[in-house]
Structure 1
Amino acid sequence: MLSLSISFAFLLATATKGAAHGFVRQMIVNGVAYGGYLPNKYPSMSKPPTLAAWSEKQTNLGFISPNEYTTPHIVCHRDAENAGGYVTVKAGDSVWLQWNGWPTGHVGPILDYLAPCGSKGCEAVDKSSLKFFKIADAGLRNGTNKFYTDVLAQNKGWLIRIPEKLKPGDYVLRHEIIALHGSGKMNGAQNYPQCFNIKVEGSGTELPDGMFATQFYKPDDMGILVSVYGNFHSYRIPGPGVIDIGGLVEQAISTATSTANATISASSTATGSIVSTSSGSAAKTAGQTSITTGSVSGFETRVRSSHVPKTSAV
């Protein structure tokens, strides 16, 4: 009877870990949606689509633990592999990362990084060689004990701005949530990194120094081994500092009026089908757009709503 109880408890805990968290289902840039990697679908496909989103083997939607911080898993998630495509953005553009969902109670910091891919290109670069610099991070909101993850959970996404002064080139965009609901004990934090290939255009000249992802965090960092319950009013965001040309932007929900394929680099040898709309090309609509305002526990947001055609869903 005892063994059955233990087995049931283990299965329940495993199911909770798998079901409780999500992934970025699409990236939206200037109203155009690009498909994300779907870990609950693509691993079982013989020819998954070529995307700008890196693939990963965390099919139960689980996390990277602090005892894995020095392994390649922390770079872009478990057993992540290079994406074969790119999304082109202009320096200064905003990028909306649409999550399939996030549990409100699983609070923690949100961190965004970039790493130049060099001459090999992002589709072929060794992920362990990538040196990331942090372009934005978000911890507690407005001096309260409420985390920005509550905003992400409500909006089901997060807005990032590519630094306007950034040097043009190919970069890996690394977006990460660290869930702290279990971080009061050693190895209790949960990291959820997601990576995307972007091709940055512009006239900027800045290329900040970076560091390996395996050097970002330690299991006993103040922002990793921490209790977020009770009388909690201060929090130190882990990892390197935000670069001078970066910074957190006002959060606003972006919606897509069309979809598009990831761009395939001329040097890429990636195979597989391309994500497309039902018509085989980007579905576009003029659509009416309106701006409304709202608040999330004292955090001001600007909500952008547009008419979105059914064919634009990703």
Structure 2
Amino acid sequence: MFPFSYSALSGLLLATAVAAHGLVSTIDVDGTTYQGYPAFNPVNNPQRIIRAMYNNGPITDVASLAIACNGKNEPAALVANVTAGSFITYTWGSWPKGHTGPITNYMASCGDDCRTFNASNGNWFKIDETGYDSSTKLWATDKLFTNSLKYSVMIPQGIPSGQYLVRHEILALHATNAPQYYPSCIQVQVNGGTGSLSSIASSDFTTFPGAYNPSDPGYKFNIYYPPYTSYPIEGPQPIYAASNLANSTSPSNSMNPTNSTTPTTSSLLPSSTSSDTPGSSPSVRFCRPLKLGPG
């Protein structure tokens, strides 16, 4: 038998913990693929449309400024052109199967220039959400695996042209009462928009921080026990469902735009892959984030 040192064990545990998180690795926008993360120097090398993130760990404080776009809310150098009504496709570099939960997407107008816009000042509206599909008993994160870690979201047709932040987020619910948020924001110039933001009801706008609260049923949700029939996704409902935005089209399928099935937000029975005992709340996993740059 080969000797097994404590340092080797520590390294193995650290590697396992690092692998237990994820970042968006690429973003496809109007036929152009943009690089996501990780990166040795997230801010300057190379220039990106995605705002900088310094590690692959979650945001756990919903009152923090980082809940808006992760990292330190530093604008990116580039703005991608996107046609209203087209899809943006995110590809995640990795995602742990035990980190179960919904996926949501928001937008906020940047005004004149996203490269100088503070995300915490944004008036955000939700454009897409996928929770749990009761017909297949799969969460959004389960479908992410079957779709090669890709998630596509439609840019609404019924919003005005201009610069926007698009906020893409996975929420991991594996640790009851300690949800883990993985947001990221890209900067886009929407072209061909045919509507007005005034068409969106004021109740369908929100802020980050401000959209989520520890008292929310979706924040406190136990995915293990007792059995449930629905999951209350946090935040407002998507504008295509809420406001009948002029000329806006409901996304055909967030996971695969060629599929005609509308995403659902119904609920999932407890996961059979969980190692936690039904009836007890799982402890918070010891997942140490991987640092990607200064900060």
Tell me the TM-score normalised to structure 1 length: 0.69
Among candidates 151, 171, 183, match of residue 193 of structure 1: 183
Aligned residue for 1:217?
212
Paired-residue identity, %: 32
Compared CA separation, residues 57 and 33, structure 1 to 2 (3 A)? same
Query: Residue 14 and residue 133 in structure 1: after superposition, are their counterparts in 2 closer, same or farther (change >3 A)?
Result: farther
Residue 231 (structure 2) pairs with residue 235 (structure 1):
yes
1:1-314 correspondence to structure 2 within 5 Å = 16-36=16-36, 38-43=37-42, 47-58=44-55, 61-65=56-60, 68-119=61-112, 121-143=113-135, 145-155=137-147, 156-182=149-175, 184=176, 186=177, 188-207=178-197, 208=200, 209=202, 210-230=205-225, 231-243=227-239, 244=243, 245=245, 247-251=250-254
- Determine the structure 2 residue equivalent to 1:271: none
| Whole-Å separation in 2 of the counterparts to 1:225 and 1:8 | 37
2:283 corresponds to: none
Query: How far, CA to CA, are the matches of 1:239 and 1:13 in structure 2?
Result: 35
Distance 1:218 1:13 in 2: 32
Cα–Cα, structure 1 residues 223 and 94, in superposed 2: closer, same or farther, change >3 Å?
same
Task: Report the CA distance between 1:149 and its aligned residue.
Answer: 1.0
**Aligned equivalents of 2:165 and 2:150: distance in 1?**
19
Q: Deviations over 1:21-78 (max 9, x none)?
A: 2111111134321222x234334x8x411111101222xx10000xx21111100013
- Are residues 204 and 220 of structure 1, via their aligned partners in 2, closer, same or farther at CA, if it must alter by over 3 Å? same
Paired residues in the alignment total 241
Q: Secondary structure at the match of 1:85?
A: coil
Where does structure 2 lack aligned partners over 5 or more consecutive residues? Answer: 1-6, 261-295
The structure in which a higher percent of residues are strand is: 1
Question: Structure 1 residue 131: deviation in Å?
Answer: 1.4
Residue 15 of structure 1 and its aligned partner are, at CA, apart by 5.3
Name the SS for the 1:75 alignment partner.
helix
TM-score (norm 2): 0.73
Amino acid at match of 1:150: D
Unpaired stretches in structure 1, ≥5 consecutive residues: 1-6, 255-290, 294-314
Deviates more, 1:83-92 or 1:232-241: 232-241
1:10 is displaced (CA, Å) by 9.2
RMSD of Structure 2 on Structure 1 (CA): 2.8
Structure 1 residues 73 and 193, CA gap change in structure 2 (3 angstroms): same
Q: Report if the CA contact (8 A) 1:115-1:131 is conserved.
A: yes
